[in-house]
Amino acid sequence: MSKEFTNYRFHVTRRHFLGKVSLGLGSVALGSLLIPDLFSSSNEATQSLGLPQFAPKAKRIIYLFQNGAPSQLESFDYKPLLNKMTGEELPASIRMGQRLTGMTSGQEKFPLVGSHFKFNQYGKSGAWVSEMFPNIAKVVDDICIIKSMHTEAINHDPALTFMQTGAQQGNRPSMGAWLSYGLGSENKNLPAYCVLLSRGRGNGQGVYSKLWTNGFLDSVHQGVQFSSSEERVLYLRDPEGRDRTDRRNMLDQLAQLNALNYKEFGDPEIQARVQQYEMAYRMQTAVPELTDLTKEPDNIVKMYGADCLMPGTYAANCLLARKLSEAGVRFVQLYHQGWDQHGNMVGEMPLQAQDVDRSTAALIMDLKQRGLLDETLVIWGGEFGRTNYCQGDLSKENYGRDHHPRAYTIWMAGGGVKPGIVYGETDEFGYNIVKDPVHVNDFHATILHLMGLNHEQLTYKHLGRRYRLTDVAGKVVPGILV
Amino acid sequence: MKRTASLVINITLFIQILLLFLLFFADRIELPAWLQVAGRLHPMVLHLPIGFLFFLFVLIVIRKTFRRKQFQKTLLVSLMLTALSTSVTALFGFFLSVQGDYDLDALYWHRLSGAILSFIAFFLLVWYQNVKKGEVVFYIFILAPITEVSAKKLSIETSTLYEIAVSPILEKKCFSCHNERKAKGKLIMTSIEKFKLGGENGVPWVAGNPDSSRMIHYIHLPLSDDNHMPPDGKPQLTVDEIFILESWIRSGADFDKRLAEYSETDTLRKWSTAKMNTLNVSSIEMVYSFSSVSQEVIENLNTPFRTVTPLYVNSSAVQVDYFLRDAYKPNSLLELKEIEDQLVNLSLSKMPVADDQLKIIERFKNLEKLNLNFTDITGATLADLMSLKNLKSLSLSGTSVTSEQIKPLLDLPSLHELFIWNTKVTEEEAVELAKDYPKVEIIYSLFTDSSMLRLTKPLLVNEGIIKSGGAIELKHSMPGVSTYYTLNGTLPDTVDGIVYKTPIPAKETVKLMAIACKEGWFCSSPFEITCFVNGIAPKDVELLLPADQQYPGLGASSLTDEKKGFIDIQKESSWLAFRDNNFEAGFSFGDNPPALNKIVISYGDNLGSYIFPPTDVEVWGGTDRSHLKLIKEVKVKQPTAYRPQRVDAIAVSIDPSNHAYYKIVAKPVSKLPAWHSGKGKNGWFFVDEVFFY
């Protein structure tokens, strides 16, 4: 085997050799002439930038991802016309030959179907909210509903990956990793990017660690997934029979050994390692204090709902997200699974809504009453929308909806976003966007803007070119900014 | 020729830059050995430029004897040779100079003059090259990076719309031909005064009427038209840019109107604001009158528990956040003295800040946002904050301040939000305060729901199989909850249920039902689970009929390995599944068989996935596999509708017996019932464990 490696190393073409030698020797010559570390401090690729580029509106983000794509037509995008036309065929003039998923492209008919759930107007803004979300309806004047989101992907995994990383293939850093890279951690005792998972009672779709990956960024920017069990961060407890003093002594001794090593070799990685040990030591105190939800007062428990004390529920994750965010975690990412209602919309969606409605609204109110909402950006939404026509059999009692990337609804609150407005519009069939479309890239650009970063300037050089979260597209959406 | 010339120019330019560099950093350079050779060539190479310079001189003297074209060519070649050789000589000379012990003073001048000569030769070449072209493009290239781009700070309040939106477009697309030096069509756009005078055809716009404006007219001409602007081959205006120019003219082509003076609904204003916010980063800067502190001071103030950062890059304002209550030290705030002017944003949330420390905070006179949530302050010294004239936002949630104590603070001139949720202020007092001080937004409490909620179910602590003689442990995550349970399959309530105090001893598999209750809440819905308890383990197990190939488990051993399967993960070694044939397994208990009276089969119940309970279960007993008789046969109740998926138990009581060998047969559903979506098809039977008691 070693022979192959040697051969491989010798495998150089003449052109390659000459190119390397001429450039190489030239740069060696210049380099050896100059002071060795004259330029090394400007090595942007290995250092995170650490500060906003301009005054940020938001310092932290809590992203309540509704995985599986909740139907916009049953939640915030009220389309009475669909109720009138239920059972009638989707006009070709509306569909305009747009592609469908393999799940419904074979259907002979595309009967329109209206929402089974009633809508009402709420708040000063008079926004329409479905009866399944009575608590979110109460905070509607604090949120900004965007009805004109659109994406390029039509299936869960690429769409989800697109929403989270700005690319449909999963090899790019996620939004949280970019923010960690761009802004660093506010609280040095906790990771900058935390991930919390929960599972609802509807038809679910998977989430994978590629959604909170650091991609090509340094691995410190990766999202830290909290466990759904009682011990939210694993391997943080001291072993039985050992207490904090033992740990401290151990670290002190270790630090001395490391200091000797550092003196001898001068490798900065040694220092980095020592710092990581110290951070882990501090996390041993910081994390249990944070993740202990039982000390929350009764009125908070009531506000988030009784579920919030059960580890692994969406409500518990909302409460934990508030605590993490309050403690300076830059980006808290929640995923709530179970929103993929291809069939049984009537049966499943109320259960899903019930799981998230109360605690989501509680999170908004809780942040607000602590004076944190104006510096925390809360985002609620899925990866795409659902079709205005029925998938499968349309009956009086039940129906389903397929994936619809042309138009969907998300909402944001706090952190520099205009409260109490509805942005963008879809046609009366809820199929196409007719006003102020917001592409996923625009969404990313806007989020970075709110955090004080110019999406065109937050770059990282990888494989010979500079990458951005928005890659080569994206425009900030001024209409939703305060 | 052209290519050679540009190649030579580039090489010499590179050497010039290198020379310049070496000139400044001469004392910090160590020469590698192989370059020393080049240095020693200096005295030899030196003769080349002398020769070329002399030749150049002669050439100019006798230029009359050449034809014009010929002369130009020769001159260019000799200039090239001169420039190249001079710079190479200078470079080599430099290499030599670092090696030997030369008189430093003399060396300095020698070096400098060598470099200057080389620069002159290079510039001569460049100059000549450009004189020939008749353009000065190259100069512009050379000088471009040196010209300082004076970035102007823009803001909605003080900048004109022209500055923000219109001028950048003209700068990008028009200035290159319509400037002081070039002024095509005698139109100068670079200064507002001259732009207003117009060009040879007059002023290029008619205020309020884009359609009759010459400028717009030219823009809309077809690209092939000679009058089209910008001319073919130059960067063209985008649709957005044309829209801006037109809207600006339509709104009166005003150079002085500030952006803020346009109506908020004006598209032009909206567009310009957006553009400013996204492109012009400096526009969103907040201006502070205080000076900034050094990076070093800020770095030194950072600890793992106190984060000190500027608001953003190059901002003079600083924010400070404290973390971890245990790590907070009372004198920590005193250490911020160095940044007391710059501190605008301070968060002490959850820190044990005592009343007397507000005296320190008082010194941060530029403070705009202060977060004292859940600190230990009592409010007695809140008056200390009265000197914070710039304070805009104050959070006191979770402290024990009273309405009387906060009242004076509401007179703070800049204050516009106050958070007093979860304090001693009562709701009536908060309403009163809000009425008296309409300028300040007072956030008291947002949650008003007084309806009763249902508790969550109790939880089982020890999941999986309970060891024989073990106990079932329950818990509830909410403090102060009472749990009631039954083991007989009936619904527990607060009267009939047994109050859970200590773990419930379990001898054999039982069906547990439990509810949680607490005053002020509805009791939880019942928690139902079958708790499996380890029984008497058989000596040997065998499968008499094979499991389905898709779900073979680990063969017969899966039945007694004390590992439970998960209901939603079917492809896993705990599960054995049967569809085409019956489940038939033999269990032998050896020479001294124990007395048994109950057999429990743990099976999967997941109707949506076609996984059903078996229809019949038979228990056979005897001495070995071939000498058996039927002891018991039970029909299993079949489901009549979909139900939640779960792992359940089929308990078969038998007359006390002590056979050496038992055979258990379970028959999968052969035809799924009519209400099921797979009606008529085969059903599955999933089994993970068999227990004997």
Q: What is the pLDDT of residues A439-457, one digit of tens each?
A: 999 999 999 999 999 999 8
How does the average pLDDT of chain A come out, rounded?
88
Q: What is the pLDDT averaged over residues A129-145?
A: 96
What pLDDT does residue A1 have? Answer: 54
A235 vs A84: which has the higher pLDDT: A84
Same domain (yes/no): B135, B165:
no
Inform me whether the pLDDT recorded for B520 exceeds 90: no
Nearest CA-CA partner of B576 in B593, B604, B551, B549: B551
Residues of A whose CB is below 8 A from B266 = none
Instruction: List strand residue ranges (DSSP E) for A111-211, in order.
Output: 119-122, 127-130, 143-150, 193-199
End-to-end Cα distance, chain A: 64
Q: Do A189 and B323 touch (CB under 8 A)?
A: yes
- Boundary (domain end) residue, out of B409, B443, B477: B443
- Tell me the pLDDT tens digit for each residue of A287-316: 888 888 888 888 899 999 989 988 889 999
What pLDDT does residue A3 have? Answer: 65
Confidence of residue B137 (pLDDT cuts 50, 70, 90): very low
Q: Do B307 and A52 touch (CB under 8 A)?
A: no
Within a domain: B289? no
Total number of domains in chain B: 5
Partner residues linked to B618 by β-bridges: B633, B665
- Tell me the pLDDT tens digit for each residue of A17-61: 565 555 555 555 454 444 433 333 333 333 346 889 888 999 999
Confidence of residue A112 (pLDDT cuts 50, 70, 90): very high
Q: Tell me the CATH architecture of domain A47-228+315-480.
A: 3-Layer(aba) Sandwich (3.40)
CA separation for the pair B8, B126 (Å, rounded) = 10
Confidence of residue A14 (pLDDT cuts 50, 70, 90): low
Same domain (yes/no): B261, B399:
no
Reduce the DSSP state of residue A65 to 3 states and report it: strand
Inform me whether the pLDDT recorded for B302 exceeds 80: yes
Q: Do B307 and A187 touch (CB under 8 A)?
A: yes
Residues of A whose CB is below 8 A from B309 = 50-51
Q: Do A369 and B478 touch (CB under 8 A)?
A: no
Pick from B274, B307, B456: which is nearest to A307 by CB? B456
Helix (H) or strand (E) holding B1: none
Within a domain: B389? yes
* Residue of chain B with shortest Cα separation from A276: B304
Pairing verdict, β B646-657 and B596-605: antiparallel
Q: Is the peptide bond before B230 cis (omega within 30 degrees of 0)?
A: yes
What pLDDT does residue B166 have? Answer: 87
A-B Cβ pairs (cutoff 8 Å, strict)? 148
Inform me whether the pLDDT recorded for A175 exceeds 90: yes
Pick from B21, B422, B456: which is nearest to A310 by CB? B456
Rounded to the nearest angstrom, the minimum Cα separation between B220 and chain A is 27
The alpha carbon of residue A270 and the mean position of all alpha carbons in its chain are separated, in whole angstroms, by: 33
Rounded to the nearest angstrom, the minimum Cα separation between B447 and chain A is 7
Q: What is the pLDDT averaged over residues B317-330?
A: 91
Residues of A whose CB is below 8 A from B349 = 326, 370
CA separation for the pair A249, A262 (Å, rounded) = 20
Same domain (yes/no): B546, B682:
yes
- For A392-401, B76-85, B440-449, B646-655, which range has the lowest pLDDT when averaged over its residues? B440-449
CA separation for the pair A246, A321 (Å, rounded) = 32
Pick from B304, B455, B524: which is nearest to A189 by CB? B304
What pLDDT does residue B140 have? Answer: 40
End-to-end Cα distance, chain B: 103
Same domain (yes/no): B30, B171:
no
Q: What is the pLDDT averaged over residues B347-360?
A: 94
What pLDDT does residue A34 have? Answer: 46
A194 contacts A317 by C-beta, under 8 angstroms:
no
Same domain (yes/no): B436, B520:
no
Confidence of residue B301 (pLDDT cuts 50, 70, 90): very high
What pLDDT does residue A13 have? Answer: 60
What pLDDT does residue B224 have? Answer: 82
Residues of B whose CB is below 8 A from A186 = 307, 321
Within a domain: B462? yes
Within a domain: B397? yes
Within a domain: B154? no
**Percent above pLDDT 90 for chain B:** 40
* Residue of chain A with shortest Cα separation from B395: A371
Q: What is the pLDDT averaged over residues A255-269?
A: 88
Confidence of residue B389 (pLDDT cuts 50, 70, 90): very high
* Residue of chain A with shortest Cα separation from B523: A306
Q: Do A51 and B397 touch (CB under 8 A)?
A: no
Q: Is the peptide bond before A173 cis (omega within 30 degrees of 0)?
A: no
Same domain (yes/no): B502, B643:
no
- Domain with B323 in it: 295-443
Rounded to the nearest angstrom, the minimum Cα separation between B421 and chain A is 6
What pLDDT does residue A477 have? Answer: 93
The DSSP output letter for A236 is -
Residues of B whose CB is below 8 A from A449 = 277-278
Residues of B whose CB is below 8 A from A54 = 281-282, 284-285, 312-313
Residue B24: CB atoms within 10 A of its CB come to 9
Q: What is the pLDDT averaged over residues A245-249?
A: 91
- Tell me the pLDDT tens digit for each residue of A311-361: 889 999 999 999 999 999 999 999 999 999 999 999 999 999 999 999 999
Q: Do A54 and B310 touch (CB under 8 A)?
A: no
Rounded to the nearest angstrom, the minimum Cα separation between A77 and chain B is 25
Inform me whether the pLDDT recorded for A122 exceeds 90: yes
Inform me whether the pLDDT recorded for B480 exceeds 70: yes
Same domain (yes/no): B553, B656:
yes
Within a domain: B305? yes
Rounded to the nearest angstrom, the minimum Cα separation between B309 and chain A is 8
What pLDDT does residue A8 have? Answer: 60
A16 vs B574: which has the higher pLDDT: B574
CA separation for the pair B345, B415 (Å, rounded) = 14
Residues of A whose CB is below 8 A from B395 = 370-371
Confidence of residue B282 (pLDDT cuts 50, 70, 90): very low
What pLDDT does residue B136 have? Answer: 40
Nearest CA-CA partner of A43 in A193, A218, A220: A218
- Boundary (domain end) residue, out of B496, B531, B566: B531
* Residue of chain A with shortest Cα separation from B302: A188
Rounded to the nearest angstrom, the minimum Cα separation between A299 and chain B is 9
B238 vs A457: which has the higher pLDDT: A457
- Tell me the pLDDT tens digit for each residue of B420-438: 999 999 989 999 999 999 9
- Tell me the pLDDT tens digit for each residue of B405-425: 999 999 999 999 999 999 999
> Which of A22, A23, A188 to substitute to test the interface with B, most B CBs within 10 Å?
A188
Same domain (yes/no): B111, B212:
no
CA separation for the pair A323, A315 (Å, rounded) = 13
Q: Do B312 and A53 touch (CB under 8 A)?
A: yes
Q: Do B29 and A328 touch (CB under 8 A)?
A: no
The structure's pTM equals 0.72
Same domain (yes/no): B214, B263:
yes
Rounded to the nearest angstrom, the minimum Cα separation between B194 and chain A is 34
B344 contacts B389 by C-beta, under 8 angstroms:
no
Partner residues linked to A423 by β-bridges: A146
Q: Do A294 and B419 touch (CB under 8 A)?
A: no
Q: How would DSSP label each residue in B298-343?
A: HHHH-BTTEEEEESSTT-S-EEEEE--GGG--GGGTGGGGGGTTTE
- For A14-18, A112-116, B29-33, B341-345, which range has the lowest pLDDT when averaged over its residues? A14-18
Report residue B615: phi and psi, to 5°. -80, -40
What pLDDT does residue B101 have? Answer: 63
* Residue of chain A with shortest Cα separation from B524: A306
Output the domain CATH number for residue B397.
3.80.10.10
CA separation for the pair B491, B506 (Å, rounded) = 19
Residues of A whose CB is below 8 A from B282 = 54
How does the average pLDDT of chain B come out, rounded?
86
Residue B10: CB atoms within 10 A of its CB come to 10
> Which of B270, B452, B457, B477 to substitute to test the interface with A, most A CBs within 10 Å?
B477
Which parts of A40-91 fold into alpha helices (H)? Answer: 80-84
Inform me whether the pLDDT recorded for B483 exceeds 60: yes
Domain boundaries, chain A: 47-228+315-480, 235-311
Within a domain: B114? yes
B466 vs B314: which has the higher pLDDT: B466
CA separation for the pair B633, B619 (Å, rounded) = 6
What pLDDT does residue B253 have? Answer: 87
Rounded to the nearest angstrom, the minimum Cα separation between A432 and chain B is 24
CA separation for the pair B302, B11 (Å, rounded) = 49
Q: How would DSSP label each residue in B106-142?
A: HHHHHHHHHHHHHHHHHHHHHHHHHHHHT--HHHHHH
Same domain (yes/no): B482, B418:
no
- Boundary (domain end) residue, out of B284, B316, B344: B284
- Tell me the pLDDT tens digit for each residue of A345-354: 999 999 999 9
Q: Do A282 and B324 touch (CB under 8 A)?
A: yes
